[in-house]
Amino acid sequence: MASALKPKTAWTHIARYWPMLVFGGVMLVVTNGLALVVPWLLGRVINALQGTDPAAEIPLLAVLMIAAALGQALSRIASRVSLFNAARKAEYDLRSELFSHLLTLDGEYFRHHPTGDVMSRLTNDVQTVRALWGPGILNLVNTSFLFVAAAVLMVGIDLELTLWAIIPYPSVVILGRVFGRRLYHRSRAVQDQLGHLSASLQEDLTGIGVIKAYTAERQRRGVFRRLSERLLDANMELTKVRGQLIPVLGSLASVGLVIVLWVGGKKVINKEIDLGQMIQFSAYLGLLVWPTMALGWMLSLVQRGLASWHRIEQVLAAKPTIVSGPGPDLDLEKARGDLEVRDLTIAINDRNILDGVTLRCAPGTMTALVGRTGSGKSTLVEALCRLIDIPDGTVFIDGRDVNELSLQNLRGAIGYAPQEAFLFSTTIAENIKFGFPDKYANGESHERMGWAADAAGLGRDLSALPDAADTVVGERGITLSGGQRQRVALARAISAEPRVLILDDSLSSVDAETERDILARLTEVMRGRTSILISHRVAVVRRADQIAVMDQGRIVEVGTHDELLAAGGVYEELYRTQIDSQVLATEMATAEAES
């Protein structure tokens, strides 16, 4: 979050490495200084050839030219190593800062920004900014020094000839401004299109199973082709601008050289300057031809880098909607897990997802949340963990407003196993240990992982896998079944031994009998902890200390299983509906077996 609060420019990160930049800049000055020495020596050679004893001077001049060339090569290497290494280090810092900042942002940000686009900014845009820092700074220093130094040396030879030579160069500034704006907009369009393509590709790869199941390969290929064509068109527009700029600037430099040959030739004939000075002047001007042509490439590099920086800046400027409280925090070793919700209302798009919810979960008790789909159960438990923003004075743990606690402290007290189990592309053991990173020594860590796996009902599954707990689950746990993924996520939640354990329908992918067996195993784990269990199977939650029934964002009933059945409300209706469905399924299975 701090990164979003500090004003930054495209040069902030590279400026940290100013010693490397200064050294690289000095080496560039040395490089160009030696490059300017060569024309001066060449002029001396020409004059020596016209003198009475060329052999007396030319060998020494030749040695000096060779020495200048070698020195130029070494200083050029040193300048590039220093500047490019500084750019690489700044790239590392920027990428690390971006990722750290992304970790501070909450789900609201990622719901409005496709993952592929965020990844494009974290990779492609950062690389483009690094090119701005490395080759961009190098060419900026190189061109600036060379133009100034060469102009001073040319004025020293002949002021009038210098004025004639620089006639085309004011046009370079005008063209640079005109083309610079066009390059920026074209570059921004390229980066935006690349972000759209990355987002679409990431979505397709994630949903490849659905694409194949619905034979939608041709349709998705068409979408990918259209997005690729748009990216191609954007790149072509950028290339057209760059393709126009470089030849135009090169032509301007060549015009200056033609003027020098015409005007300077007359001056040599009229004895206003000697031939050596003419060759020396032409060599100085020739040194400016490549920087002038490279100016177009540099402008493209700078504008594309700035366009990418502005996309990165948008990420760094984003602020999380959920921020840590000022504290002081709970003592997790002494926390009781007393949860209370007071008149909690959460509205999204002018619709109340939760409407005046009030509920208390006493320490060490199990509370079950039941209700129809969309009644607000998952939103309520997300509010308890502050995964969504909530008003002050609505959710309390051990009498403390959760908005006053740091997010790390609050979430450290709560183990949360969501319905949509997410696994990392590593081993089952590492996924479970994710619940208690660096908390135990290696032996204790392995023992705790095994205990959590057994409690989650994974023992039989691990024994059937080729590498047991060391089996790599693949991206998002693709090699495991839905039930196995949910149980690994459950083991991860309970492995941290939280004071509050929340199971958000986290066993929905297993059958009812397996779910009852796992909950029986969890009885020991839940003892002494405050537990909240969401399940769409009413029969599973009947042993809870209290059952809260939700309907249309409200808690409409609270009581035990028997009390709610006797009340004849929503819970009784849900229970009877499930019982009737089970009876019907049993009768159909019996009839099918008899036939």
Q: What is the pLDDT of residues 500-515, one digit of tens each?
A: 888 887 777 677 677 7
Amino acid 581: pLDDT = 54
Q: Tens of pLDDT along 406-423? A: 888 888 888 888 877 788
Q: How far apart are CA 508 and CA 170, in angstroms?
A: 72
Q: How far is C-alpha 267 from the chain's CA centre?
A: 62
Residue 330 has pLDDT above 70, yes or no: yes
Closest CA to 83 of 176, 17, 127: 17
- Put simply, whether the predicted model's pTM sits higher than 0.75 gets the answer no
Question: In the chain, pLDDT over 70 holds for what percent of residues?
Answer: 89
Report the phi/psi class of residue 376: left, alpha or beta, with left for phi > 0 and alpha for psi in -120 to 50: left
Of 48 and 322, more confident: 322
The 3-class secondary structure across 230-247, one letter per residue, is: HHHHHHHHHHHHHHHHHH
Q: Where residue 582 falls among pLDDT bands split at 50, 70, 90? A: low
Q: How far is C-alpha 109 from the chain's CA centre?
A: 12
Backbone φ and ψ of 416, nearest 5°: -125, 120
Name the 3-class secondary structure at 266.
helix
CB 342 within 8 A of CB 396: yes
Amino acid 588: pLDDT = 46
Q: How far apart are CA 574 and CA 371, in angstroms?
A: 8
Q: How far is C-alpha 271 from the chain's CA centre?
A: 66
The two structure tokens encoding residue 167:
């006639």
Q: Where residue 23 falls among pLDDT bands split at 50, 70, 90? A: very high
Q: CA 430, 529, 386: angle at the middle one, nearest 5?
A: 70
Residue 586 has pLDDT above 60, yes or no: no
Q: Tens of pLDDT along 98-116? A: 888 888 888 778 878 877 7
CB atoms within 10 A of CB 215: 8
Per 3-state DSSP, the chain is made up of helix, strand and coil in percentages (nearest 5) of: 65, 10, 25
**Bridge partner list, 500:** 414, 530
Q: How far apart are CA 404 and CA 178, in angstroms?
A: 54
Place of tokens 């940000």: 109
Q: How far apart are CA 100 and CA 82, in angstroms?
A: 27
Of 56 and 114, more confident: 114
Of 5 and 134, more confident: 134
Q: How far apart are CA 490 and CA 504, in angstroms?
A: 10
Q: How far apart are CA 510 and CA 502, in angstroms?
A: 18
Strands 500-504, 414-417: pairing kind: parallel
CB atoms within 10 A of CB 549: 26
Q: How far apart are CA 241 and CA 175, in angstroms?
A: 12
Count how many Cα atoms sit within 13 Å of the Cα of residue 197 in the half-sphere of its side chain. Answer: 19
Amino acid 41: pLDDT = 78
The two structure tokens encoding residue 325:
């409280």
Closest CA to 492 of 502, 478, 482, 481: 502
Q: Any idea which of 209-213, 295-299, 343-347, 404-408 has the lowest mean pLDDT?
A: 295-299
213-to-217, 307, 420, 421, 509 alpha-carbon distances in Å: 10, 40, 20, 22, 20
Across the range 54-79, mean pLDDT stands at: 83
Residue 591 has pLDDT above 50, yes or no: no
Q: Where residue 296 falls among pLDDT bands split at 50, 70, 90? A: low
Question: In the chain, pLDDT over 90 holds for what percent of residues?
Answer: 2
Q: Can you list the alpha helix ranges (DSSP code H) found in 527-569? A: 561-567
Q: How far apart are CA 180 and CA 424, in angstroms?
A: 44
Q: Tens of pLDDT along 427-460? A: 888 888 877 766 666 667 778 788 888 888 787 7
AA letter at 415:
G
The two structure tokens encoding residue 540:
């599973």
Residue 175 has pLDDT above 80, yes or no: no
* Contacting residues for 263 by C-beta, under 8 A, at least 6 apart: 160, 161, 164
CB 389 within 8 A of CB 320: no
559-to-55, 245, 533, 534 alpha-carbon distances in Å: 112, 77, 15, 15
Q: Mean pLDDT of all residues in the chain?
A: 80
Question: Would you state the torsion angle of the CA atoms of residues 559, 561, 565, 568, taken in this order, to the nearest 10 degrees?
Answer: 30
Q: How far apart are CA 338 and CA 528, in angstroms?
A: 11
Amino acid 246: pLDDT = 67
The two structure tokens encoding residue 235:
């790149």
Amino acid 4: pLDDT = 40
The two structure tokens encoding residue 408:
């790390």
Amino acid 74: pLDDT = 92
CB atoms within 10 A of CB 337: 22
Q: Where residue 2 falls among pLDDT bands split at 50, 70, 90? A: very low
Cβ neighbourhood burial of 350 (10 Å; 0-12, 13-18, 19+): exposed
Closest CA to 254 of 278, 301, 286: 286
Q: Where residue 1 falls among pLDDT bands split at 50, 70, 90? A: very low
Max mean pLDDT among 242-256, 529-543, 577-591 falls in: 529-543
Question: Would you state the torsion angle of the CA atoms of residues 185, 191, 193, 195, taken in this order, to the nearest 10 degrees?
Answer: -150
Closest CA to 129 of 93, 155, 105, 160: 93
Q: Any idea which of 120-129, 136-145, 565-574 has the lowest mean pLDDT?
A: 136-145
The two structure tokens encoding residue 478:
């693709």
Name the 3-class secondary structure at 448.
helix
Residue 173 has pLDDT above 70, yes or no: no
Edge-to-edge strand ranges of the sheet holding 400-401: 351-361, 339-348, 395-397, 400-401
CB 335 within 8 A of CB 396: no
Q: Tens of pLDDT along 271-294? A: 777 777 777 777 777 777 667 666
Closest CA to 414 of 398, 428, 394: 398
Across the range 198-214, mean pLDDT stands at: 75
Residue 584 has pLDDT above 50, yes or no: no
